[in-house]
Amino acid sequence: MAGLKLTGIVKSYGEVPVLKDIDLDIRQGELIVFVGPSGCGKSTLLRMIAGLETITGGTLEIDGEVMNAVPPAQRGIAMVFQSYALYPHMTVRDNLAFALKIAKTPKAEIAAAVEKAAGILQLTPYLDRLPKALSGGQRQRVAIGRAIVRNPKVYLFDEPLSNLDAALRVATRIEIAQLKEKMPAATMIYVTHDQVEAMTLASRIVVLAGGGIAQVGTPLELYERPETEFVAQFIGSPAMNLLDGEVIGTGAVTTIRLSSGGTVTSSIPTHTSDTGLAVRVGIRPEDFVPTDDTAPAWRGQVEITEALGEVTLLYFAAGDGYAAVVAKLPGNHAGLRHAEVGLRVDPAKVHLFHAGRSLLYR
């Protein structure tokens, strides 16, 4: 197993830039997840690591060796794609063994590698079945098993769960997490558009946007301390509320008057003492709490409710000059539809942004 280092990575197609100035150190044993909106370049970056796309500029190192000109087959990488890409006429055993047979690996070693991979992935009872006799989740496990038998330096996953239904995605996601625990030294890079996968699987998340890296950190770091408005809204569901406001007091806490008329305080450290500074106030839907206070942080009419069982989403109507708000309350509150509701928020949960960046990092 090995670590990776990307230094000044650039990718362009002719005159069209796709990725620029990608600097990233991936340590051995990490499970790194690339997330970002469609077209941000996350799959392109993964394919450059695999050698399936040429690198326009910069250097890629695997285990300290520059790989820019090394063919894909010699990089010590195994890749799992969205499509299972199994050979339909071969049994699970033969699918797992195929790459090793092509490499002329001794039969005893092939048998041992197949049995080991099947044991890790709980595929032993299915070794003599054809792919058509397997469920979608089992087929994806076979695809992962083909990577495991090769004992690569780095595992690459390109949205491996996107073709599964919701229940299978959850089950297979758990299986991938368990697989990583069984292979703690394995270095894995995982591309997804699903932030739940990113938050539950990743050692660290790399958020890509605008052709570059917006932020790198552990899942909780990105959730609790986003550096930019983009990351704040991209991580978390529903997205963070961003409300216009003005700083009216600084000190141990920062006091902000919202354009909607309410007032909030933030105890998250900021690098500003500027009263009158125009800011965007970030509050996650799950951090709002209903209140009967006469002067709540937010008051508005609930336009729509979505009762999901364990939580209820409240969608507040937008007022003149300010945005709509979403609150996420535990339990069933469907009866609040069309009601006038006040909300408060813990100052430790109030984020402040100016010119798109968090004042924590200013």
pLDDT at 171: 83
Domain ranges for the chain: 4-233, 241-358
Cβ neighbours for 130, distance < 8 A, ≥ 6 positions apart: 88, 89, 90, 91, 92
CATH architecture of 4-233: 3-Layer(aba) Sandwich (3.40)
Cα 265 from Cα 242, distance rounded (Å): 15
3-state secondary structure of 162: coil
Cα 215 from Cα 23, distance rounded (Å): 11
CATH code for the domain defined by 241-358: 2.40.50.140
Cα 295 from Cα 279, distance rounded (Å): 21
Q: Mind giving me the DSSP string for 69-121? A: TS-GGGTTEEEE-SS----TTS-HHHHHHHHHHHTT--HHHHHHHHHHHHHHT
Cβ neighbours for 352, distance < 8 A, ≥ 6 positions apart: 247, 254, 256, 266, 268, 270, 279, 280, 281, 282, 358, 359, 360
pLDDT at 172: 83
Q: What is the largest CA-CA distance in the chain?
A: 78
pLDDT at 320: 54
pLDDT at 319: 62
Measure Cα distances from 356 to 164, 214, 359 in Å.
Answer: 36, 12, 9
Provide φ and ψ at 27, rounded to 5°.
Answer: -85, 155
Tell which residue, 143, 156, 237, has the closest CA to residue 199. Answer: 237
pLDDT at 317: 81
Residue type, 343: L
Q: Per-residue confidence of the chain (362 residues) as pLDDT tens digits? A: 678 999 999 999 988 999 999 999 999 999 999 999 988 999 999 999 999 999 999 999 999 999 999 999 899 999 988 888 899 999 999 999 998 998 899 999 999 999 999 998 889 999 999 999 998 888 988 998 998 898 888 999 998 888 778 887 888 888 888 888 988 888 999 999 888 899 999 999 999 998 999 999 999 999 999 999 999 999 998 999 999 999 999 888 999 999 888 899 999 888 777 889 999 999 999 999 999 888 888 888 899 999 999 999 999 987 654 568 999 999 998 888 889 999 999 999 999 999 999 998 76
pLDDT at 323: 63
Hunting for tokens 């800011």 — which residue is that?
A: 279
pTM of this structure: 0.90
